[in-house]
Each structure stands twice: as C-alpha cells, then as structure tokens.
C-alpha cells in the first residue's frame, strides 16, 4: 500500500532559531523553507496529493497566496513541491477537488471540464473525478435500499460527473490516470457505484466519504467495494482522506487497496489532545506521547485574554513561560529534576487551562491528568531514542508544543515514523 501525503503547504524554516524563537535572517517563506521530503534522506511518503480547494481559485480562496496559486498553475505540482529532482521524479502526484470544502452546497461548484484543466495545468499524474460527499451511512440497508433523497441525488451527481470526467480526461497525456470516486450511503450502494465506475472504464477507484465513519463502518464499506471489484484483476482501490491511518494493519487483508491518502500523522502533532509524538512500538502498532505545551504568552489567545481582564499579569505569565521552557531544556540536559520540571510546567498550565467557567475541582482534575501525561513523556525521553534528522538536530525542542516550527517538525517526525511503520506492515 502506497502512502500519499495530502500536502497543505507544510514546510518549515530550516534556519529557525529555537533559542530566540525567530526565523532565519531574511527568510523568504516557501523559497527558503523545506518540505518533509527535503529534510529527510528519504521522503516519508510514496507520493503527494494536492486538493484544488487548498490551491484555491475564483470559487474558493484556498491556503495558497494568490502568487503561489498562479505559480502553481504555471509550473505544475511537481516543480511547486520540488519533487522534480531525480530521486523523486517517479513519485505520483494525485489531485482531487477537496469535496469537503463544498459539501454543504446542493451541487459541486466544479465541472468535469475545469477539473481536467486543473489537473492538466498542475501536471498531475493521477486525478480524482468530481464527487459530492454523502454523509449518511446505513449499515443495515440491503442492496440499493434505504438512502435519503439527498443521498440518492448526490450518488447520481457523482456518477454523472465521473462519466463526464472520464471522457474529458482523455485529452490529458496518456500517462495520466483518472480515478473514479465512489460515493454511497450503504455497503450496497457503494458496491453498485464501484461497478458503474468500472463499466465506464475506470481501473483506479477511490472510496470517498470515509472520514466521518466509525472503524466498523469503514470495514463494511471497504469490504463491500472490494467484493464488488474483485472479478476485475486490473482494478485497484484508493482510500480517500483516510484519517484512521494508524489502524492500517487491519486493512492489509483487502488486497485491492493500492494506496491511501492521509495527513493524520502530521496533524496529530498539534491537533490531538494526547497523541502528539509517534514512536514505533511493534510490527503492528505505534506508541504515542503527549507534547509539552509551552505556548508563547504574548501570542496565545487565552493568556492574552487573562492579561486583558486582569486575571493574570502579563509579566507573571511571561515569567512562567520562561521558567517552563528553561526547566524542560535543563531537564533534557540532566540539570533539573523530573518533579521540579513538572511543577514548573503545571504552574504555566494553570492559566492555560483556566476559563471563565472552570471551577476549581475541574481545573485540578485537568492539571492532574496533564501532569500524568507530561510525566510519562519526560520519563521516557522519546526524542533521545529517535534517530531521525529532526530529533537529532533539535532534541527536546521536538516535544515542545509551541508555534509552527516546532509543531510541524514534530509532525514531520511523525510522518517518518509512520512511513517506516507502513513499510513493516507492507512486509507482514
């Protein structure tokens, strides 16, 4: 199974100064920054996916600046991602429309024609048909039974646009692979959609709409599609937006799954409340640690608010912040005890966890839980055991939850640990 990383302008400043918390002198964003595949000797993924919604256009403002978006269309995805060097030239670059961004609309704002144009301009190697997400999932519905009017309409729209997209995509280079996106409200309707797409001519199908589903529902969905296409030896499957990437070992039994895209190892570094730092555990699973939150007192909204309302004085917050940072760094050098380090971290965590509505008991419980998580992280010192370029270079800074240069680097570390983990799973 190939791991396709869904990029969203994820790069870091290689000259970032961690002691003074400033970027390298004269840094030009993007141009001086590095992508994950530029920081490690080997890219921590097999390919990259870029969503049209991320790049942005007249319909949607994406994450790219206007000049980045224009340059993207001019030079194409490979040059933009700097995957045009000999070691990366064979890596596939997938495109999709980012159906989540328009899921609330009655119909997708994109046509098959303008989607093909986007893939052509971007010189994508693979591109998904235009789809419309179905949020309903009825595991008990039999065959084509069940399904709300809205689900059925989205099902038809997705198939109609897939048919148009397949024809339009013939204008692109022969090396381009069109991917037919499957949407459905039940195992039966997903299977029927897959069959229709194969009849249209698609040989690569992507199962969409998996993000909101629970684990057992994902299995029902994947198994139904897998069963439906198994009679065609040349048909391959892709899991679109596979957020449960950590449970991948459960999916190796579906031999038709050739690839999946995800961003979860990166995102968890700064979006998950507990599992922020990955560590290999055994052939099938990963171990996780909680990153240590020491946000910048003058940047953090909660702390800024405390200073404004007078609940805390800003100079006290700044002092706590400095002390927390110093204690963690000293701890990593063996110059501060575990308990003293935890005391200093929890002192700074108190204003961070305090809200207007927080009562004393609830706050105490929160701080106690946090102390337990931090203690486990500090005792195990996982950053010392990891030999990736990031942990080797910046050590304990990797585990500090603080602004994008640390948080994204921890995400890059996670990508590498995850990718190595995937190689073990693929070899099981």
| Residue 366: CB atoms within 10 Å | 16
Which of 69, 77, 86, 53 has its CA nearest to residue 176?
77
If binding is defined by CB under 5 A, does position 12 make contact with Zn ion?
Answer: no
How far apart CA 218 and CA 210 sit, in angstroms, is: 6
Which lies closer to Zn ion via its Cβ, residue 285 or residue 372? 285
Which lies closer to Zn ion via its Cβ, residue 312 or residue 418? 418
If binding is defined by CB under 5 A, does position 413 make contact with Zn ion?
Answer: yes
Which lies closer to Zn ion via its Cβ, residue 261 or residue 397? 397
Which lies closer to Zn ion via its Cβ, residue 38 or residue 150? 38
- Contacts to Zn ion from residues 202-261, by CB under 5 A: none
Binding part of the chain for Zn ion, among 165-173, 213-221, 342-350, 408-416 by CB under 5 A, reads 408-416
Count of residues near Zn ion by CB under 5 A? 4
Which of 221, 170, 160 has its CA nearest to residue 196?
160
Which lies closer to Zn ion via its Cβ, residue 27 or residue 275? 275
How far apart CA 254 and CA 272 sit, in angstroms, is: 28
Tokens of 50: 């870029």
Q: Which of residues 77, 198, 328, 388 is near Zn ion by CB under 5 A? A: 388
Identify whether the C-beta of residue 52 lies closer than 8 Å to the C-beta of residue 11: no
Q: At its nearest, how many Å lie between Zn ion and the CB of residue 90?
A: 26
Identify whether the C-beta of residue 261 lies closer than 8 Å to the C-beta of residue 48: no
Pick the catalytic residue from 96, 131, 138, 246: 96
If binding is defined by CB under 5 A, does position 391 make contact with Zn ion?
Answer: yes
Q: At its nearest, how many Å lie between Zn ion and the CB of residue 250?
A: 26
How far apart CA 229 and CA 255 sit, in angstroms, is: 11
Q: At its nearest, how many Å lie between Zn ion and the CB of residue 278?
A: 9
96 is catalytic: yes
Q: At its nearest, how many Å lie between Zn ion and the CB of residue 32?
A: 22
Strands 177-182 and 286-289 come out as unpaired
Angle at 348 between CA 270 and CA 414, to 5 degrees: 20
Tokens of 313: 């004085």
If binding is defined by CB under 5 A, does position 408 make contact with Zn ion?
Answer: no
Identify whether the C-beta of residue 348 lies closer than 8 Å to the C-beta of residue 324: yes
| Residue 116: CB atoms within 10 Å | 24
Which lies closer to Zn ion via its Cβ, residue 81 or residue 386? 386
261 is catalytic: yes
Length in residues, the chain = 428
If binding is defined by CB under 5 A, does position 410 make contact with Zn ion?
Answer: no
How far apart CA 388 and CA 276 sit, in angstroms, is: 16
If binding is defined by CB under 5 A, does position 421 make contact with Zn ion?
Answer: no
If binding is defined by CB under 5 A, does position 179 make contact with Zn ion?
Answer: no
If binding is defined by CB under 5 A, does position 161 make contact with Zn ion?
Answer: no
Binding mask 348-387 for Zn ion (x = CB under 5 A): --------------------------------------x-
Site of interaction with Zn ion (CB under 5 A)? 386, 388, 391, 413
Q: Which residues are catalytic?
A: 96, 261
């Amino acid at each position: 199974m190939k791991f396709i990383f869904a990029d969203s302008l994820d790069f870091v400043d290689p000259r970032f100064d961690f002691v003074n918390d400033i970027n390298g002198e004269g840094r030009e964003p993007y141009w001086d920054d590095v992508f994950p595949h530029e920081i490690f000797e080997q890219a921590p993924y097999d390919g990259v996916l870029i969503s049209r919604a991320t790049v942005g256009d007249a319909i949607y403002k994406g994450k790219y600046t206007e000049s980045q978006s224009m340059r993207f269309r001019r030079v194409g995805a490979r040059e933009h991602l700097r995957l045009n060097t000999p070691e990366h030239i064979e890596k596939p670059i997938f495109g999709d429309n980012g159906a989540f961004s328009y899921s609330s609309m009655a119909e997708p704002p994109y046509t098959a024609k303008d989607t093909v144009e986007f893939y052509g301009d971007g010189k994508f190697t693979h591109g998904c048909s235009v789809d419309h997400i179905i949020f309903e999932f009825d595991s008990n519905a039999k065959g084509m039974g069940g399904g709300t009017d809205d689900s059925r309409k989205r099902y038809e729209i997705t198939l109609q646009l897939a048919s148009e997209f397949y024809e339009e995509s013939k204008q692109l280079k022969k090396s381009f692979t069109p991917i037919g996106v499957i949407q459905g409200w039940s195992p039966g309707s997903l299977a029927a959609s897959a069959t229709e797409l194969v009849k249209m001519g698609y040989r690569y199908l992507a199962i969409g709409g998996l993000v909101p589903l629970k684990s057992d529902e994902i299995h029902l969905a994947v198994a139904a599609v897998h069963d439906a296409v198994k009679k065609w030896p040349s048909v391959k499957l892709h899991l679109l937006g596979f957020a449960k990437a950590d449970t991948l070992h459960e999916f190796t039994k579906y031999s038709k799954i050739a690839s999946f895209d995800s961003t979860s190892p990166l995102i968890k570094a700064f979006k998950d409340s507990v599992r922020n730092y990955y560590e290999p555990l055994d052939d099938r699973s990963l171990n996780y640690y909680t990153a240590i939150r020491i946000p910048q007192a003058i940047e953090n909204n909660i702390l800024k608010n405390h200073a404004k309302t007078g609940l805390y004085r800003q100079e006290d917050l700044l002092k706590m912040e400095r002390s927390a940072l110093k204690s963690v760094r000293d701890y990593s050098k063996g110059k501060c005890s575990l308990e003293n380090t935890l005391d200093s971290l929890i002192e700074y965590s108190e204003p961070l966890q305090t809200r207007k509505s927080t009562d004393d008991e609830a706050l105490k419980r929160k701080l106690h839980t946090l102390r337990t998580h931090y203690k486990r992280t500090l005792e195990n010192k996982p950053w010392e055991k990891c030999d990736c370029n990031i942990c080797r270079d910046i050590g304990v800074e990797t585990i500090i939850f603080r602004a994008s240069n640390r948080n994204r680097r921890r995400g890059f570390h996670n990508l590498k640990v995850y990718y190595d983990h995937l190689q073990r799973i693929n070899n099981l």
